[in-house]
């Protein structure tokens, strides 16, 4: 078998091209599913090699993505990550070794893959995606995200949607996004303004319901209640001048001990160091194999988009390995009232007696909004503004007012959050 | 250790290993990790095998104990373009040793050995597999005999075996498990596992009920709003039964009426216009008032011969299953209480008291089951007794245990048809679906058959007759005994496996559905386009999938694929078939 394949492949090939043979085979011939107008051969191969792509995140998914792109014929790769390497990364982020702990992920990952795969150029940036402007993002053919933060996804999504200039096809940058949790994950392809964007799909990734503060303060029942109490209430009470660093073992130990003492007071079993860490850092289980699946799925789509050798994913694939193997591939719909890529205001039915503060809190919990520090404007005036401080003080009295005192039934309000370049439009309908 | 006495140690802080493996220990716990660390994986490679190397990467990182890489090939330029665990300096060296070197960097704690020999040796010697706990075999093998023998040896030694194909945009793997593969710790969704046993309350629970709801009407608003919903449901069940001949609500419409009854008990003269605990109670009505029943999986376990007739050699699984079945029979169809209580609105002390009542009941049920097991152990003359922890785990997850019946991997030979036996009907039905991915599996079978045919033809040629061989390779028709080598696409057309419910030994192909025929032909064309080659992305994706399955098989946690999985990298879809 090996002899045969080597034999048939080597005829008439230059030796230095040999390492590319598997890929070139595909790109030199049309397949049954490739577009009838597709042109195989050097033109396509050239397009692949000259595609400049951006990888966001050099963690569990990012390490895999860089490797996969390098071995898929991409030669011009950039990578952004602000994080440094932690020992708990080593069970899956396979470009890092114990000696690398503390170094920047983007830098170590880029250097490793560049060294291993000949002819690939990878440029790292150790910092935040928000440091870069549209001009920077405009240079790429596409963006591939391996992030663990919803905020960062929403930011890059809004930025790429915003960049689309209908007159200039080059301004449309496909966004390929992967995410994992345990044995599950998803890969999706977003063509900004053309199909459903990350913001349209936000309610599919709803945050876990928060435990009410009064439960934490007065009637804890679960070990996590005791830990959240230590995290939110005890720290504020005893160490409010210090910034809690969830990576500092001393801080976690302190929280753990406070939580444990509280649990003992209420006879609640089950507070452990590991659980404390899990609750406080909101740790999501992560393993190499799931990262491999999702990252490779993203890169497979990137390869198909860059070469057009076969049709790409329209537009969402979810994977679950909990029970056997289960995937669901489907097309998510664009939302006309999406705050990022739509233009209609979203209708929201509210109790007119609700206070503005309660309304703001509800925006944090709503699956499609998830805004932590929103600023609100009605058609007439500023309802509540986080910044600057003078405006915040000026608008703070509105927080205790009822909605009916601030807006009229059916009025549109604008909501923005400094974490995103997004302005939500809500049309408030009073419930009767 | 020269640690300063003034630095207080971090109490019960994690060890170095716990830190490194933190993100996975949250999935399979220390018990799963121990199983991984004790496992010995054998990787048999006779192709480019990137899918296998990527699988190994995903197993080395989480700390699977040891690996043996068997590969008789030297590193070529082709490998460098697709295999990340080789570099330019590897060219011309043994691939087993080079891959081993670069994989070892990923985790110094695991042991990796390289054997530069043909995998055929493992086909020839039935005992060579025995020291391994799991086998990864990359297809196609040199011929059908190698595949068949290795599968047989694995089956004989009850060693799980994965047989994997990865070419172009497609891949496929089959898992051959031992004839009986039970899983106790299936990690079901916590929301689906609640057993509150509301229809069969016991004295301690009823005592608390009386204490907390005996005078529900006269409770203060605060207390009324903090009665745990379990007690609210029990209270209103008594109310309901009083007017329904002592019967609990049995059907959907009665449950809806009962729900309304519960809702009517909430106090609404407050600022929220209701009570959270009553909302929780109403929401739990439909799922909490089902008459006790057992899952089909558990029923199958109970009814099997191994459970009914214990022997001194019975596996622990069957001895415990037998004990639980006896409990089930003697307790009017209820299972041992798992004992977990979901969170609910309540005063801390009330909740903890309720939680302790559930835990105590779970412990007493466990004691009853254990007692039964101890007497069976004596009865059948077992030498050692099963650990309490193992019995406890079974009691907690009894409803969700899974017993997978391993099935042999199908071997496509150029000389014979595959016998689909009991799967023929199901597969011929499956192929009626025009969107089915089953034709991808058939295309890989055709590839195996093609490879077997090529091997046969090569053996026919005289060893010295190079000219003839070259003619065959170049596709020139050769006179004499040796037939010309067909291309895979030509061969595949004639080697579609027949799936015929009537066992009709008609020749291949037998696709009655034109869509399925077209899918098959397109898969073959696409495989031919890739010219035997692996695409790194598809190899990495499949390597991730196989690694997940390997972890599930080794840890005996979660539920592995039963038994064949297909990936279509063009449509970005997968499918699982029982073959």
What are the tens digits of pLDDT across the range B467-505?
656 665 555 544 444 555 667 777 666 655 655 555 444
The per-residue pLDDT for B10 is 52
Of A1, A33, A94, the CB nearest to B451: A1
Residue B469 CB coordination number (10 Å) = 18
pLDDT of residue A271: 96
| Residues of chain B found within 8 Å of residue A221, distances taken between Cβ atoms | 343-344, 346, 348, 351-352
Query: What per-residue confidence (pLDDT) applies to B472?
Result: 55
Given a cut of 50, whether residue B84 has pLDDT beyond it is yes
**How far are the Cα atoms of A21, A115, A119, A189 from residue A16, in angstroms, in the given order?**
10, 17, 11, 34
Mean pLDDT of chain B: 89
Residue A92's pLDDT band, with cuts at 50, 70 and 90, is very high
Least confident of B10-14, B22-26, B361-365: B10-14
Take residue A243 and report the two structure tokens written for it.
């910034």
Chain A residues in contact with B439 (beta carbon < 8 A):
none
pLDDT digits (tens, 9 = 90+) for B292-332: 889 999 999 999 999 999 999 999 999 999 999 999 999 99
Residue from the list B14, B473, B525 with its beta carbon closest to the beta carbon of A32? B525
- What pLDDT is recorded for position A321? 97
Coil, strand, or helix at residue B573?
strand
- Percent of chain B whose pLDDT exceeds 70: 89
Q: What is the mean pLDDT of residues A426-431?
A: 87
Span B94-123, average pLDDT? 96
Q: Per the CB < 8 Å rule, is A9 touching B531?
A: yes
pTM for the structure as a whole: 0.90
Chain A closest-CA separation from residue B200 CA (Å)? 25
Q: Which chain B residues are Cβ-neighbours of A267 within 8 angstroms?
A: 348-349, 352
Q: Do B543 and A292 touch (CB under 8 A)?
A: yes
Tens digit of each residue's pLDDT (9 = 90 or more) over A306-329: 999 999 999 999 999 999 999 999
Whether A280 has a pLDDT exceeding 50, the answer reads yes
Q: What is the predicted pLDDT for the residue at A427?
A: 87
Would you call A15 an interface residue with chain B, using a CB distance cutoff of 8 Å?
A: yes
Mean pLDDT along residues A139-144:
98
How far apart (Å, rounded) are the C-alpha atoms in residues B492 and B509? 9
Q: Residues 157-176, chain A: which have Cβ within 8 Å of B?
A: none
A212 closest CA partner among A237, A234, A229, A195: A229
Q: Would you call B106 exposed, middle or buried from its count of C-beta atoms within 10 A (0-12, 13-18, 19+)?
A: buried
The H or E element containing residue A10 is helix A2-10
- Residues of chain B contacting residue A5, judged by C-beta atoms under 8 Å apart: 47-48, 531-533
DSSP string, B437-490: SHHHHHHHHHHHHHHHHHHHHHHHS-TT-HHHHHHHHTT----SSPPPPPPHHH
Judge: B547–A9 Cβ closer than 8 Å, yes or no.
no
Q: Of chain A residues 30-59, which have a CB less than 8 A from chain B? A: 30-33
What pLDDT was estimated at residue A13?
41
pLDDT for B507: 38
Which residues, in sequence order, are bridge partners of residue A184?
Answer: A181, A320
Is the Cβ–Cβ distance between B411 and B152 less than 8 Å? no
* B366-415 residue pLDDT tens: 999 999 999 999 999 998 999 999 999 999 999 999 999 999 999 998 88
Among the partner residues B88, B348, B541, nearest to A293 by beta-carbon distance: B541
Distance to chain A for B259, nearest Cα, Å: 24
Q: Distance between CA A408 and CA A52 in Å, rounded?
A: 50
Token digits of residue B481: 């005994």
Question: Which residue of B166, B348, B486 is the best one to mutate when testing the A interface, meaning the one whose CB has the most A CBs within 10 A?
Answer: B348
Give me the pLDDT at residue B159, please: 97
Among left, alpha and beta (phi > 0; psi -120 to 50; other), residue B339 is left
Query: Is A129 in contact with A421 (CB distance < 8 Å)?
Result: no
Q: Which of A119-123, B3-7, B372-376 has the lowest mean pLDDT?
A: B3-7
Whole-number Å distance between alpha carbons of B64 and B146: 27
Residue A414 has a pLDDT of 87
> What domains are there in chain B, each with its CATH number?
18-180+538-577 (3.40.50.720), 190-403 (no CATH), 421-530 (no CATH)
Identify all chain A residues contacting B569, using CB atoms and an 8 Å cutoff. 300
The tens digit of pLDDT for each residue in A346-403 reads: 888 889 999 999 888 888 887 777 888 888 888 888 899 888 888 888 899 999 999 9
Supply the pLDDT for residue B240.
Answer: 96
Identify whether the C-beta of residue B470 lies closer than 8 Å to the C-beta of residue B462: no
Name the average pLDDT for chain A.
90
Nearest CA in chain B to A283: B23
Q: Is A309 designated active site?
A: no
3-state DSSP call for residue A377? Answer: strand
By the 8 A CB rule, do B561 and A34 touch?
no
Provide long-range contacts, Cβ within 8 A and 24+ apart, for A279-283.
A279/A224, A279/A227, A279/A228, A279/A231, A280/A227, A280/A231, A280/A246, A280/A252, A280/A255, A281/A246, A283/B22, A283/B23, A283/B26
In three-state form (DSSP H/G/I as H, E/B as E, the rest C), the secondary structure along B398-447 is HHHCEEECCCCCCCCCCCCCCCCHHHHHHHHHHCCCCCCCHHHHHHHHHH
Q: Which helix (H) or strand (E) holds A124?
A: strand A121-126
- Residue B471's pLDDT is 60
**pLDDT band per the 50, 70, 90 thresholds, residue B4:** very low
Percentage of chain A beyond pLDDT 70 is 95
**pLDDT tens track for B524-560:** 999 989 887 999 999 999 999 999 999 999 999 999 9
Check A214, A298, A309, A341 and give the catalytic one.
A214
Query: Which residues in chain B have their CB less than 8 angstroms from residue A7's CB?
Result: 473
Percent of chain B whose pLDDT exceeds 90? 73
Q: What are the structure tokens assigned to A120, written together?
A: 């690939």
- 3-state secondary structure at position B574: strand
**Chain B residue closest in CA terms to A304:** B570
Beta carbons of A292 and B140 less than 8 Å apart: no
d(CA A65, CA A84): 18
Give me the half-sphere count of Cα atoms (radius 13 Å) on the Cβ side of residue A227: 22
**What SS3 state is found at A180?**
strand
Considering only alpha carbons, which residue of chain A is nearest residue B402?
Answer: A323
Tell me the pLDDT tens digit for each residue of A33-48: 999 999 999 999 999 9
CA–CA distance from B251 to each of B258, B287, B334 (Å)? Answer: 10, 12, 19
Contact A350, A366 (CB under 8 A): no
Task: List the single residue in B with minimal CA-CA distance to A184.
Answer: B548
Neighboring chain A residues of B283 at a CB cutoff of 8 Å: none
Among B22, B40, B41, B24, residue whose Cα is nearest residue B32:
B24
Segment (H or E) for B165: strand B161-167
- Residue B427's pLDDT is 85
Bridge partners of residue A137, in order along the sequence: none
Beta pairing, strands A52-56 & A76-81 = parallel
CB B462 within 8 A of CB B473: no
Q: CB neighbours (10 Å) of residue B242? A: 9
Would you say B262 and B232 are in contact if contact means Cβ atoms under 8 Å apart?
yes
d(CA A220, CA A226): 6
Q: Is the pLDDT of residue A155 over 90?
A: yes
Dihedral pair phi/psi, residue B172, rounded to 5°: -160, 140
- Rounded Cα–Cα distance for residues A377 and B314 (Å): 72
Higher pLDDT: B484 or B148? It is B148
pLDDT at residue A279 greater than cutoff 50:
yes
């Amino acid at each position: 078998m090996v002899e045969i394949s080597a034999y048939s492949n080597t005829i008439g090939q230059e030796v230095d091209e040999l390492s590319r043979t598997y890929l070139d085979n595909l790109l030199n011939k049309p397949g049954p599913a490739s577009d009838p107008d597709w042109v195989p051969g050097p033109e396509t191969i050239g397009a692949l090699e000259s595609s400049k792509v951006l990888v966001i995140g050099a963690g569990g998914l990012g390490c895999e993505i860089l490797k996969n792109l390098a071995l898929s014929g991409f030669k011009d790769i950039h990578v952004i990550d602000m994080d440094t390497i932690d020992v708990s990364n080593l069970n899956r982020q396979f470009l890092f070794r114990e000696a690398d702990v503390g170094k920047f992920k983007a830098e170590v990952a880029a250097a490793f893959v560049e060294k291993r795969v000949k002819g690939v150029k990878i440029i790292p940036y150790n910092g935040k995606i928000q440091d870069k402007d549209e001009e920077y993002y405009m240079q790429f053919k596409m963006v591939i995200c391996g992030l663990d933060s919803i905020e960062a996804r929403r930011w890059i999504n809004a930025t790429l949607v915003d960049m689309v200039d209908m007159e200039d096809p080059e301004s449309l940058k496909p966004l390929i996004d992967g995410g994992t949790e345990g044995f599950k994950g998803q890969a999706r392809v977003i063509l900004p303004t053309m199909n459903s964007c990350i913001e349209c799909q936000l309610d599919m990734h709803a945050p876990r319901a928060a435990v009410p503060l009064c439960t934490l303060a007065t009637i804890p029942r679960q070990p996590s209640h005791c830990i959240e109490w230590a995290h939110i209430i005890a720290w504020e009470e005893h160490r409010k001048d210090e910034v809690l660093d969830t990576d500092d073992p001393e801080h976690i130990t302190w929280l753990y001990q406070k939580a444990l003492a509280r649990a003992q007071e209420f006879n609640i079993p089950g507070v452990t160091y590991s659980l404390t860490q899990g609750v406080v850092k909101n740790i999501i289980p992560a393993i190499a194999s799931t990262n491999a699946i999702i990252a490779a799925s993203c890169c497979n789509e990137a390869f198909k988009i860059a070469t057009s050798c076969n049709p790409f994913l329209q537009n969402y694939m979810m994977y679950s390995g909990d029970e056997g193997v289960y995937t669901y591939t489907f097309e998510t719909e664009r939302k006309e009232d999406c705050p990022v890529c739509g233009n209609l205001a979203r209708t929201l039915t509210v109790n007119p007696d609700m206070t503005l503060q309660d309304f703001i809190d509800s925006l944090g919990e709503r699956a499609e909004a998830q805004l932590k520090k929103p600023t609100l404007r009605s058609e007439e005036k500023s309802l509540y503004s986080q910044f600057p401080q003078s405006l915040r003080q000026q608008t703070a009295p509105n927080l205790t007012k009822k909605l009916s005192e601030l807006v009229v039934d059916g009025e549109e309000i604008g909501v923005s959050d400094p974490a995103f370049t997004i302005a939500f439009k809500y049309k408030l309908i009073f419930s009767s | 250790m020269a640690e300063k006495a003034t630095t207080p140690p971090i109490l019960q802080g994690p060890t170095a290993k716990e830190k490194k493996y933190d993100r996975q220990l949250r999935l399979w716990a220390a018990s799963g990790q121990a199983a991984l660390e004790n496992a010995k994986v054998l990787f048999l490679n006779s192709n480019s095998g990137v899918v296998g190397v990527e699988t190994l990467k995903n197993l080395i990182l989480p700390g699977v104990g040891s690996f043996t890489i068997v590969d008789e090939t030297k590193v070529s330029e082709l490998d460098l373009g697709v295999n990340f665990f080789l570099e330019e300096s590897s060219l011309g060296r043994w691939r087993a040793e080079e891959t081993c070197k670069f994989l070892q960097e990923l985790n110094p704690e695991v042991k990796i050995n390289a054997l530069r020999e043909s995998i055929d040796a493992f086909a020839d010697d039935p005992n060579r597999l025995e020291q391994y706990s799991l086998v990864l075999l990359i297809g196609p093998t040199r011929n059908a005999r190698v595949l068949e023998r290795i599968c047989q040896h694995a089956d004989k030694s009850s060693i799980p075996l994965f047989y994997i194909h990865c070419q172009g945009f497609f891949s496929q793997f089959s898992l051959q498990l031992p004839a009986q593969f039970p899983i106790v710790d299936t990690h079901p969704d916590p929301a689906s596992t609640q057993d509150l046993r509301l229809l069969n309350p016991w004295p301690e629970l009823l005592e608390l009920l009386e204490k907390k709801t005996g005078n529900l009407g006269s409770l203060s608003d605060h207390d009324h709003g903090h009665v745990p919903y379990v007690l609210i449901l029990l209270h209103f069940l008594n109310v309901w039964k009083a007017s329904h001949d002592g019967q609990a609500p049995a059907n959907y419409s009665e449950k809806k009426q009962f729900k309304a009854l519960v809702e009517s008990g909430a106090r609404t003269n407050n600022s929220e216009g209701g009570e959270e605990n009553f909302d929780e109670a109403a929401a739990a009505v439909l799922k909490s008032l089902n008459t006790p029943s057992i899952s089909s999986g558990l029923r199958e376990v109970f009814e099997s011969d191994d459970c009914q007739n214990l022997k001194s050699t019975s596996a622990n699984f069957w001895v415990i299953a037998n004990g639980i079945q006896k409990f089930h029979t003697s307790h009017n169809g209820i299972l041992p209480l798992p004992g977990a209580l979901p969170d609910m609105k309540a005063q801390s002390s009330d909740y903890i008291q309720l939680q302790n009542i559930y835990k105590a009941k779970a412990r007493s049920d466990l004691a009853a089951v254990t007692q039964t097991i101890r007497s069976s152990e004596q009865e059948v003359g077992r030498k050692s007794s099963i650990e309490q922890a193992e019995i406890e785990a079974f009691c907690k997850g009894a409803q969700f245990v899974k017993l997978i019946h391993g099935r042999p991997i199908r071997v496509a030979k150029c000389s014979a048809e595959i016998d689909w036996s009991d799967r023929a009907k199901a597969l011929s039905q499956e192929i009626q679906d025009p969107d089915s991915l089953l034709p991808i599996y058939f295309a890989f079978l055709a590839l195996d058959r093609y490879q077997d045919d090529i091997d046969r033809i090569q053996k026919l040629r005289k060893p010295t007759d190079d000219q003839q061989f070259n003619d065959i390779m170049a596709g020139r028709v050769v006179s004499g005994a040796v037939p010309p080598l067909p291309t895979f696409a030509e061969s595949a057309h004639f080697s579609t496996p027949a799936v015929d419910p009537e066992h009709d030994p008609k020749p291949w192909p037998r696709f009655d559905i034109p869509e399925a025929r077209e899918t098959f032909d397109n898969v073959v064309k696409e495989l031919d386009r890739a010219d035997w080659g692996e695409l790194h992305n598809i190899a990495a994706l499949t390597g991730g999938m196989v690694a997940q399955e390997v972890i599930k098989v080794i840890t005996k946690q979660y539920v592995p694929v039963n038994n064949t999985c297909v990936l279509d990298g063009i449509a970005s879809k997968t499918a699982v078939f029982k073959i």
